[in-house]
Amino acid sequence: MGSNDYILEVNNITKDFPGVRALDNVDFKVRRGEIHCLVGENGAGKSTLVNVISGVFPRGDYEGVVVFKGKETHYRSTKDSESDGLSIIHQELTLSPYLSIYENIFLGNMKTRFGVIDWDACLRDSYPLLKRVGLSEPPQTIVSKMSVGKQQLVEIARAISRNAELLIFDEPTSSLNDEESENLLKLLLEFKREGITCIMISHKLDEVLAVADSITILRDGLSVASYDTRAEEVSKQQIIKAMVGRELKNLFPEKDPKIGEVVFEVKNWSVNHPDYHDMKIVDNASFFLKRGEIVSFCGPMGAGRTELMMSIFGNSYGYGATGEIYLHNEKVTFKSPKDAIEKGVGYVSEDRKSLGLILIQDVKTNITNSSLPKLSKRGVLDKEKIRESAEFYKESLQIKTPSLEQLARNLSGGNQQKVVLSRALLADPDIFIVDEPTRGIDVGAKFEIYSILNEMVKQGKSVIVVSSELTEAISMSDRIYVMNEGKIKGVLNRDEATQEGIMHMALVD
């Protein structure tokens, strides 16, 4: 195969950040028309590599050469790469939340008529784009009102409106549920049929194996392996081994639950939409949690799982919540998240950026700032203890950072997630609610997180997990509540739960 078959050739790329060599002499080649998956542990350098390719890091900011369509690139920004036919859809979405779908699609690339922006033309031209990505919303819809999955389709529509020949997806399915992920993968295959080349970064190895024509594996900034899946059979075990550098026998730790009395109970909980007050989002939900139990909440996107948990957790969501909460058999109300935390309930949100991490603070501060009373002696902060606690979680969750003083915004996506989890674990709640705890987390670190949750319940705590990954829910939890359309549709014990069973329960009346 001649080199002309490659739409993209990346040679000897080295990229340094202060204290970190993110990419070390990386070579990477992508054939025209293929789906090429890029995998590796959190912090391996995947996002950095695609940022180099797409001009997020301008030429001069890295060493080495990027050749796109046979020509060496000299991009100064993503604007240059977009007009060259290369678009990136980032790990964290970048839409303007208060603008409409079509405004977002054409922002920075407006149609003009006699030098004036022609919004009518933009609106008209948005329809076929939305159809292509399978979005049925009216183009005037404000994007902040849409689910993450749909917002992502808007980003994709934006990319293809610029006639992309190469689309780069940085963890496109990490915030999507199974059904949405499947649709996205179908869309990728559709693009492939149309001759568009795709690069996809993902931690979900099953989906990688389902769509990849080629797979490249990064480890610690090095490209350690590359497979052509059309020419050779590649197994999940093989990929994991190349990613983590060792054999990983089990994906889930052994579990030996010791379950006690009911410690947390919610009765007849209802809550309405924060803007549309007559729209019921959670409808008369009742559930309980026992000491030592891990309980999962599953269900399709929009089932109301996150809204249920957030509204319970100190009214952090919605309008006019009603219902009762019992903590250790005593009726309680949580006036605010702070109040809930003080009463021993912890919550980790699915959206780490807006509700968790303080990006401009360092790792140590982010991990310890909700536990300062514990880390003080007679009202004075114990600096040594603060450092030790942060160090403990850095080690046990293997947070990849050059130091505890590194700003959170400089960590890779998965490592940011580990910081958010560390903070909640350090606060040591009795009742721990986690929403999508392993989103964007690599296989090895997932195992560590599951082990920590197991350790918590062993010590007599209780955990609620909101999870879109059914295999994870089934392997990790003692019971599974199934929700749909704001209602709890049923509950399954671990030994009777199957993926089909859960989906069926979600859909029956």
List residues binding ligand ATP (CB under 6 A).
17, 20, 22, 40, 42-48, 91, 400-401, 410-415
CB under 5 to 8 A by kind: which of Mg ion, ligand ATP, none does 48 bind? ligand ATP
Nearer to ligand ATP, 290 or 400 (CB): 400
Which among 98-106, 150-158, 341-349, 407-415 is the span making contact with Mg ion, rule CB under 5 A? 407-415
Q: How is residue 483 written in tokens?
A: 């929700």
Q: How would you class 4 by CB atoms within 10 Å of its CB: exposed for 0-12, middle for 13-18, buried for 19 or more? A: exposed
Nearer to ligand ATP, 17 or 127 (CB): 17
Q: How far is the CB of 81 from Mg ion (least distance, A)?
A: 18
Q: How far is the CB of 438 from ligand ATP (least distance, A)?
A: 12
**Contact of 172 with 185, CB cutoff 8 Å:** no
Q: If binding is defined by CB under 5 A, does position 315 make contact with Mg ion?
A: no
CB atoms within 10 A of CB 371: 18
Q: Phi first, then psi: give them for residue 254, nearest 5 degrees.
A: -65, 155
Q: If binding is defined by CB under 5 A, does position 413 make contact with Mg ion?
A: yes
Q: Which residue is nearest to ligand ATP (CB)?
A: 414
Nearer to ligand ATP, 38 or 133 (CB): 38
Q: How far is the CB of 450 from ligand ATP (least distance, A)?
A: 18
In the shown chain, the binding pattern of residues 60 to 79 toward Mg ion, with x for contact by CB under 5 A and - for none, equals --------------------
Instruction: Give CA torsion, residues 132, 102, 91, 146, to 10 deg.
Output: -90
Q: Which residue is nearest to Mg ion (CB)?
A: 47
Q: If binding is defined by CB under 5 A, does position 47 make contact with Mg ion?
A: yes
| Residue tagged 């400089």 (tokens) | 410
**Contact of 368 with 426, CB cutoff 8 Å:** yes
d(CA 300, CA 472): 15
Q: How far is the CB of 162 from ligand ATP (least distance, A)?
A: 24
CB under 5 to 8 A by kind: which of Mg ion, ligand ATP, none does 40 bind? ligand ATP
d(CA 188, CA 113): 33
Where helices occur in 63-161 by DSSP H, the ranges are 78-83, 101-106, 119-133, 148-161
Q: How far is the CB of 411 from ligand ATP (least distance, A)?
A: 5
d(CA 115, CA 182): 42
Q: If binding is defined by CB under 5 A, does position 161 make contact with Mg ion?
A: no
Nearer to Mg ion, 442 or 478 (CB): 442
Q: How far is the CB of 408 from ligand ATP (least distance, A)?
A: 10
Q: How far is the CB of 435 from ligand ATP (least distance, A)?
A: 18
**Contact of 316 with 343, CB cutoff 8 Å:** no
Q: If binding is defined by CB under 5 A, does position 221 make contact with Mg ion?
A: no
Q: Is 380 helix (H, G, I), strand (E, B) or coil?
A: strand
CB under 5 to 8 A by kind: which of ligand ATP, Mg ion, none does 410 bind? ligand ATP
Q: If binding is defined by CB under 5 A, does position 43 make contact with Mg ion?
A: no
CB under 5 to 8 A by kind: which of ligand ATP, Mg ion, none does 415 bind? ligand ATP
Dihedral (CA of 27, 31, 33, 39) sign: negative
Q: How is residue 195 written in tokens?
A: 């001759």
Q: How is residue 174 written in tokens?
A: 């990490």
**Contact of 87 with 108, CB cutoff 8 Å:** no
Count of residues near Mg ion by CB under 5 A: 3
Q: If binding is defined by CB under 5 A, does position 270 make contact with Mg ion?
A: no
CB under 5 to 8 A by kind: which of Mg ion, ligand ATP, none does 214 bind? none
Instruction: Give CA torsion, residues 137, 35, 180, 155, to 10 deg.
Output: -40
**Contact of 276 with 282, CB cutoff 8 Å:** no
Residues in touch with Mg ion (CB under 5 A) = 47, 412-413
